[in-house]
Structure 1
Amino acid sequence: MRTPLAAAALVALGLLLMANPLYLPVSVGEPDPAYTHTVRPVGEGSAAGIESPAAGRANGSAEASNGVVAYADLAPEARAAFDRARDAPEGGFGVERPDERVDSLSYPTEPTLGDGLLIVAYDGERYEFWTRTVEREPVGVVAQRVLLQPAAFLVGFVGVVAGAALGLRKRLGGS
């Protein structure tokens, strides 16, 4: 009578451990924010949802009505951030501390046109200038995802297999 109970307990424990993505990771701290600045040319199908620069000039619409900001109209710190992001090899850079942000720019987690996303006219071209807050997971949560979750799943899988083997051993005529 003990063998079927042990087999059922192993299977139940194994299934609980295999279901660990449902309850892990447990938050062990506040998110660690970073503040990013990205610049890329506006093109067809731009994330900003505006037309290409050629189409904007062709229909004679004023740049201000398209939400375009002239480079000269940016605050000096914002121009410096724009230049640094445009000149960066990956098209952007990040800062870690809130006091390193540019005061005249907003840093939402979900940028929208005018709030974290500016279209900047610079040297006859238009650029998307993205500023956003990226919330990174604390180190403890990353460790849970990388180490604890896979180990728990593996132990759970072995538990289910062991429980099934123990239960089937008795049925198949083993001792």
Structure 2
Amino acid sequence: MRTPLAVAGLVALGVCLMANPLFLPVSIGEPDPAYTHTVRPVGEGAVAGIGSPAAGAANGSGGDAVVAYADLDPAARAAFDRARDAPEGGFGVEDPDERVDSLSYPAEPTLGDGLLIVERDGERYELWTRTVEREPDAVVVQHVLVQPIAFLAGFLAVVAGAAVALRGRLGGE
């Protein structure tokens, strides 16, 4: 009588532990936002409806969608220069006070809202600004450590339950 109870308990425990993605991660705290600034040259293809300088002038979309570097406010120019000179093509800040007031930081940038085409010295660049919501550290730890360990423990509990059941059958209990 104890063997079937032990088998059922081990299998139930194992299934619960293996199903941990259903109940983990437990949201702890608010998301941690970061504000990114990225600059890259406008490529050959159209970006958000803007192509090369000649194509922009030909289809009429170049005049109002492109911002001259000199027309950016000083803080936006400083952010543009810093992002363009960064090795990765951009930088991020975590403090909301470090954002540039004249730039918007949407989660999904669109032309004019988080995406500007800036013309500087005859070259056109895409200036992307956006808000990236990162998960709190406790949730990351759950994803990286707790969930895999719980799944492995659950798998081993199911295997142990199967071993106890086989031992009970083979041992004649």
TM-score (norm 1): 0.90
Distance 1:163 1:60, change over 3 A: closer
Q: What SS does the aligned partner of 2:126 have?
A: strand
Distance 1:53 1:17, change over 3 A: same
**Contact 2:7 / 2:164 at 8 angstroms: preserved in 1?**
yes
1:120 is displaced (CA, Å) by 0.9
**Contact 1:41 / 1:127 at 8 angstroms: preserved in 2?**
yes
Tell me whether 1:99 sits opposite 2:97 in the alignment: yes
**What do residues 117-174 of structure 1 show as CA deviations (whole Å, max 9, x unaligned)?**
1111111111110001111111111111122111111110110100111112222345
2-side partners of 1:45 and 1:62: how far apart?
14
Structure 1 residue aligned with 2:70? 72
Q: What SS does the aligned partner of 1:69 have?
A: strand
**Contact 1:43 / 1:51 at 8 angstroms: preserved in 2?**
no
1-side partners of 2:110 and 2:137: how far apart?
29
**Contact 1:71 / 1:121 at 8 angstroms: preserved in 2?**
yes
Distance 1:121 1:174, change over 3 A: farther
Structure 2 residue aligned with 1:56? 55
Structure 2 residue aligned with 1:12? 12
1-side partners of 2:153 and 2:75: how far apart?
54
Structure 2 residue aligned with 1:28? 28
Distance 1:94 1:163, change over 3 A: same
1-side partners of 2:51 and 2:61: how far apart?
14
Q: What SS does the aligned partner of 1:162 have?
A: helix
1-side partners of 2:128 and 2:8: how far apart?
55
Q: How many residues align?
A: 173
Matching residue within 122, 144, 148 for 2:142:
144
**Contact 1:63 / 1:69 at 8 angstroms: preserved in 2?**
no
Distance 1:19 1:45, change over 3 A: farther
Distance 1:8 1:60, change over 3 A: closer
1:50 is displaced (CA, Å) by 2.8
2-side partners of 1:160 and 1:45: how far apart?
55
Tell me whether 1:37 sits opposite 2:37 in the alignment: yes
For 1:31, give the aligned amino acid.
Answer: P
TM-score (norm 2): 0.91
1:31 is displaced (CA, Å) by 1.1
Query: What is the root-mean-square deviation in Å for CA atoms of aligned residues?
Result: 1.8
